[in-house]
Amino acid sequence: MAISPSINGQNNITNGLTNRHQVDGNNGTGGTHAKPRVFALDPLHSEALTFAEKHFDLVLPGDEGADQWREEAQGLLVRGSYVTAEDLERAASTKGGKLKYISKQGTGVDKIDTVNARKLGIPVMNTPGVNAQAVAELAFGMMLSLARQTPSIDRRIRKGVSVTKLDGWKGQMLYGKTLGVIGGGNIGLLVAKMFAGAFSGKIVLYDPYLKSLDTWHAAIPNTSIHKVLEIDELLTTSDIVTIHVPLTPSTENMISTSQFKIMKPTAILINTARGGIINEEDLAQALLNEEIFAAGLDAFTSEPPSLARYPDLCASRILVLHANLFSRLRVSRWFKISSMPLKARWRIRYVKSF
């Protein structure tokens, strides 16, 4: 399994659609009749469930024996659960080493110990780009909501507090503004395309792993796109900053106190990537000190977020979400596609290759 961490949110992880193997559905010793035993560590969408049950001997959370996945699973379907080094060691120590593949729904694999998976020869497969449109639309919606202070005004009205133009509610216009994109993968590109198309804005991009802007210029013609070498240059020049990178040692706490101090006081910060990229305590302080204008978060170090866990953030000018707002079609497609790499790995007679 080859994994090359990339700041653009698309780790180079084996996608499972090639290099297929024939394994036995029970013990991996050569038979091709029995369905492979696959454990879903998280609930599945109904359409994905139908697909998975057709091709696998599927065990769902709550099923009898669901906690035996370390000993029994040949394949795993993972959305938000952790797969630790201890889990992998237990799976590998099982007679015959049954666990052959792990398929992650979505791009990020930070909750799976990929280092030990590699050592044990267990490929980790993800589904980059499947939810790109949905996440991009969410980030775009957050920008608009925060720029016009829609959430804050809505909360006041619902509490019975009158809101008038004299109350000092001063929103921002986004037309002609500069969008800073951290991470030049599928989602970052889509957000930039939406922003440029809607607001005729300029784009500043930070992604040390992206070697060429050809794809960006082709997707967003007649738009100023400036790629910077240092993140500080992006932060000092951008009116909106949107984050689309995986959580890695190099991106953890990427945005902290020193970064907030150089951002514009009118800046809006959006994170739909991973919790831990922004230092949450520093963000709360920056909002309190009015070092930036507002922030929109769909990812947290502690999930799901709560008022008890984040009292300072919830009291600030911030839009807190933890839903990713997938459409029904997008959720179904996302879950179903995450099952396909596992299906492709077992070329069993009743499954057509694709």
The full set of domain ranges for the chain reads 37-126, 131-320
- What is the pLDDT, as a whole number, of residue 315? 57
- What is the pLDDT, as a whole number, of residue 108? 76
Exposure on the CB side of residue 268, measured as CA atoms within 13 A: 25
Is residue 155 very low, low, confident or very high in pLDDT (cuts 50, 70, 90)? confident
Is residue 175 very low, low, confident or very high in pLDDT (cuts 50, 70, 90)? very high
Q: d(Cα 248, Cα 333) in Å, to the nearest integer?
A: 27
Of all residues in the chain, what percent carry a pLDDT higher than 90? 46
Contact predicate 338/104, CB 8 Å: yes
Which CATH code, of 3.30.470.30, 3.30.530.20, 3.40.50.720, 3.40.50.2300, is assigned to 131-320?
Answer: 3.40.50.720
Q: Which of 74-78, 193-197, 309-313 has the lowest mean pLDDT?
A: 309-313
For residue 202, pLDDT over 60 is answered with yes
For residue 144, pLDDT over 90 is answered with yes
For residue 45, pLDDT over 80 is answered with no
* 37-126: CATH topology: Rossmann fold (3.40.50)
Average pLDDT, stretch 249-265?
A: 96
Q: d(Cα 304, Cα 320) in Å, to the nearest integer?
A: 11
Contact predicate 54/342, CB 8 Å: no
For residue 332, pLDDT over 50 is answered with no
Residue with tokens 């959305």: 79
**Would the pTM count as exceeding 0.75?**
no
Mean pLDDT of the chain: 79
Report the range out of 98-107, 280-289, 311-320, 343-352 with the highest average pLDDT: 280-289
Give per-residue pLDDT as tens, 320-329: 554 544 444 4
The closest of 129, 36, 63 to 338, measured between CA atoms, is 129
Instruction: Judge whether 37-126 and 131-320 match in fold.
Output: yes
For residue 43, give the DSSP letter.
-
Average pLDDT, stretch 239-256?
A: 94
Question: Helix, strand, or coil here: 97?
Answer: coil
For residue 25, pLDDT over 60 is answered with no
- What is the pLDDT, as a whole number, of residue 168? 58
